[in-house]
Amino acid sequence: MLILTCPYCGVTAEETEFHGGGEAHLKREGPGSDDAALEGYLFHRENPRGVHFERWRHVYGCGKWFHAARDTQTLEVFGTYPAQTTTPPEDLLATIRDKRPGFTWRGIS
Amino acid sequence: MSDPVALQMTAPAPVTALENARHDGPVTVAETGPWGMLTLRGDLSAAPVRSSLADATGLAMPEVRGVTVAGDRRVAWFSPDEALILVPRADLAGVRAALDGALAGQHALVADMSDARASFRISGEPAHLAEVLARLVPVDMGTFAVGELRRTRLAQVACAHWMPEEGAVELVCFRSVARYVFDLLVEAAESPRAFPA
Ligand SMILES: [Zn+2]
């Protein structure tokens, strides 16, 4: 069971109040992109044992989408942050580096 | 033809989803309403929106995850850009017109959602109410305070609840699940384990 804190309404609640939305920070490849880029956008996903970045929605609460960083092995949640960003905030990354030295996730480390 | 005034005058009186169903016991469960319910969308932290709400309803904008209660009116914080305003049905048209006027020119929206939701009030000993809700919502009712609001799931459906005062909890859910919510509340309120003999 995950315990997540919604960055919009500030409530800390258990997983069943939320809905997972898959991998975070995907960049849409639209018209004009090459086949490999579109294939990657549609199908290629991280599947780490460890640090992972995801989208979640506070579906039974305020309804907002947000981001969460967590460990898929221990279910430890490192932090949550608003949806209006394309990268995790630096202070959260510092926290994760502290707890999981040497972690990498796509281009992030 | 379609004269809106004539239509309004011939429209049947509104009825609640369960015709004000009621269950009496250690905890009383009652469907309330019909309320006038207005959804306000806009930046709830913006000073002009807050003052418009106060001017039109006489109620202060609630803080994050809060509810403002004054007599038979409530304003419930639903998200950073959504509030639900509850007033007696008879006040609906006046409050809506006042809100529309006060918000004119602002990036905000008011919609009459009176028919979208059902509302309930459960009352009894505070400890009993906490026990009833603890059976249904993933919320620590031991620390839930008057004036606080939670939108969460009640068993399997979306529901918001708050305490207008000690000894009462008010809830709103979508009208289509009113029977489900009422029956669950009654079931929980009747549980022998909630109220040992
Ligand atoms: Zn939320």
What CATH number is given to the structural domain containing B173? 3.30.1360.120
Q: Is B183 on the interface with A (CB under 8 A)?
A: no
B108 located within any domain: yes
In the sheet that B73-79 helps form, which strands lie side by side, from edge to edge? B67-70, B73-79, B82-88, B35-41, B109-112
The enclosing domain of B88 has a CATH number of 3.30.70.1520
Instruction: Using an 8 Å CB-CB cutoff, list chain B residues near A16.
Output: 138, 153
Res B4: pLDDT: 63
Cβ contact, residue pair B82, A11, below 8 Å: no
Are B151 and A61 in contact by the 8 Å Cβ rule? The answer is yes
| Same-domain pairing of B25 and B47 | no
Local confidence band at A1 (pLDDT 50, 70, 90 cut-offs): confident
Handedness of CA A23, A28, A34, A39 (dihedral sign): positive
pLDDT of residue B193 exceeding 70: no
Res A32: pLDDT: 93
End-of-domain residue from the set B89, B113, B137: B113
Backbone dihedral angles phi then psi of residue B15, each to the nearest 5 degrees: -120, 150
B11 located within any domain: no
B15-41: average pLDDT = 97
Residue with the two structure tokens 């929980």: B188
| For B63, nearest residue in chain A (alpha carbons) | A9
Q: Is A10 on the interface with B (CB under 8 A)?
A: yes
Instruction: Using an 8 Å CB-CB cutoff, list chain B residues near A10.
Output: 64-65
B84-103: average pLDDT = 97
- Chain A (32-71) residues lying within 8 Å, Cβ to Cβ, of chain B: 59-64
Are B34 and B114 in contact by the 8 Å Cβ rule? The answer is yes
| Same-domain pairing of B82 and B147 | no
Local confidence band at B11 (pLDDT 50, 70, 90 cut-offs): confident
Number of domains chain B is built from = 2
The CA A4 to ligand 1 mean position distance, Å, reads 10
| Same-domain pairing of B51 and B71 | yes
End-of-domain residue from the set B76, B96, B113: B113
Scanning chain B, the segments in alpha helix (DSSP H) are: 4-10, 47-57, 92-102, 126-134, 178-190
pLDDT of residue B5 exceeding 70: no
B126 located within any domain: yes
- Please classify residue B89 by burial: count the beta carbons closer than 10 Å to its beta carbon, then call 0-12 exposed, 13-18 middle and 19+ buried: middle
B82-97: average pLDDT = 97
| B88: β partners | B35
Token representation of residue B15: 């009825």
Cβ contact, residue pair A9, B64, below 8 Å: yes
Give the Å distances, CA to CA, from B151 to A17, B49, B66, B160. Answer: 9, 22, 10, 4
End-of-domain residue from the set B113, B141, B176: B113
Shortest Cα–Cα distance, B38 to chain A (Å): 17
| Same-domain pairing of B80 and B139 | no
Domain architecture of chain A: domains with CATH: 3-26+40-99 (3.30.2270.10)
Token representation of residue A96: 């994760």
Can you give the pTM of this predicted structure?
0.91
Condensed to tens digits (0 to 9), the pLDDT of residues B124-159 reads 999 999 999 999 999 999 999 999 999 999 999 999
The phi-psi region of residue A30 (left if phi > 0; otherwise alpha if psi is between -120 and 50; otherwise beta) is beta
The CA B63 to ligand 1 mean position distance, Å, reads 14
Condensed to tens digits (0 to 9), the pLDDT of residues A39-89 reads 999 999 999 999 999 999 999 999 999 999 999 999 999 999 999 999 999
| Whether the complex's predicted ipTM surpasses the cut of 0.95 | no
Name the residue range of residue B63's domain.
Answer: 35-113
- Please classify residue A104 by burial: count the beta carbons closer than 10 Å to its beta carbon, then call 0-12 exposed, 13-18 middle and 19+ buried: exposed
Are B137 and B153 in contact by the 8 Å Cβ rule? The answer is yes
The CA B159 to ligand 1 mean position distance, Å, reads 14
CA angle at B92 for the pair B98 and B32, rounded to the nearest 5°: 145
| Same-domain pairing of B107 and B131 | no
Average pLDDT of chain A is: 96
